[in-house]
Amino acid sequence: MIPAMQAIQKTRPEFGLELREVAEPSAPGAGEVLIDVTAAGICGSDLHIYEWSGGYEFVAPAMPVTLGHEFAGRIAALGAGVDGLARGDRVTVMPSVTCGRCESCRAGDFDRCLTRTGIGMTRQGAFARQVLAPAINCVLLPATVDDELAALTEPLTVGARAVESGEIKKGDRVLVMGPGTVGQTIAVMARSAGAEVTIVGKGDADRLVCLRALAFERLIDLQDKPLAEAVGPGKFDVVFEATGVPATINHGLGMLRRWGILVVCGIHASHAPVDLNRLNREQLQIRGSNRASRATWRRVVEMLAREGERLRPMITHRLPLSRALDGFELARQKVASKVMLLPNA
Judged by CB under 5 A, does residue 99 bind Zn ion?
Answer: yes
Q: Rank residues 48 and 323 by Cβ distance to Zn ion and give the closer one.
A: 48
With H, G, I as helix, E, B as strand and everything else as coil, classify residue 218: coil
User: Does 105 sit near Zn ion (CB under 5 A)?
Assistant: yes
**CB atoms near residue 146 (< 10 Å):** 17
Task: Please list every residue from 258 through 317 that binds Zn ion, using CB under 5 A.
Answer: none
Nearer to Zn ion, 96 or 198 (CB): 96
Q: Give SS3 for 37.
A: strand
Q: Using CB under 5 A, which of the segments 26-34, 65-73, 161-169, 302-310 binds Zn ion?
A: 65-73
Q: In what order do the strands lie in the sheet with 173-177?
A: 219-221, 196-201, 173-177, 236-241, 256-264, 285-288
| Closest CB to Zn ion among residues 125, 260 | 125
Kindly tell me which of 95 and 201 has the beta carbon lying closer to Zn ion: 95
Q: Is 32 left (phi over 0), alpha (psi -120 to 50) or beta?
A: beta
Q: Which is nearer to Zn ion, 152 or 174 (CB)?
A: 152
Which region, left, alpha or beta, applies to residue 203 given φ > 0 means left and ψ of -120 to 50 means alpha? left
Calpha distance 81→69 (Å, rounded): 24
Residue window 213-252: x/- pattern of binding to Zn ion, with contact defined by CB under 5 A: ----------------------------------------
Q: Which stretch binds Zn ion (CB under 5 A): 67-75, 195-203, 207-215, 263-271?
A: 67-75
Stretch that binds Zn ion, among 112-120, 141-149, 161-169, 337-345 (CB under 5 A): 112-120
Distance between CA 167 and CA 147 in Å, rounded? Answer: 30
Does residue 97 contact residue 123 with C-beta atoms inside 8 Å?
yes
Pick from 197, 180, 186: nearest CA to 162: 186
Rounded Cα distance, 201 and 176, in Å:
9
With binding defined as CB under 5 A, does residue 113 bind Zn ion? Answer: yes
Nearer to Zn ion, 97 or 249 (CB): 97
Is there binding between residue 136 and Zn ion (CB under 5 A)?
Answer: no
User: In the complex with Zn ion, which residue's Cβ is closer, 255 or 331?
Assistant: 331
Per CB under 5 A, the segment of 77-85, 106-114, 217-225, 305-313 that binds Zn ion is: 106-114
Stretch that binds Zn ion, among 15-23, 108-116, 203-211, 260-268 (CB under 5 A): 108-116
Count the site residues for Zn ion by CB under 5 A: 7
Site for Zn ion contains 40 (CB under 5 A)? no
Residue 77 or 99: which CB sits closer to Zn ion?
99
Residue count of the chain: 345
Residue pair 265/162 in contact by the 8 Å Cβ criterion: yes
Q: Exposed (0-12), middle (13-18) or buried (19+): which is 191, by Cβ within 10 Å? A: middle
On whether the CB atoms of residues 151 and 122 are closer than 8 A, the answer is no
Q: Which range of residues in 15-23, 77-85, 102-110, 308-316 is near Zn ion by CB under 5 A?
A: 102-110
Q: Name which of 49, 63, 71 is nearest 124 in CA terms.
A: 63
Q: Report the nearest approach of Zn ion to the CB of residue 290 (Å).
A: 10
Min dist CB 327 to Zn ion, Å, is 14
Residues that bind Zn ion (CB under 5 A): 43, 70, 98-99, 102, 105, 113
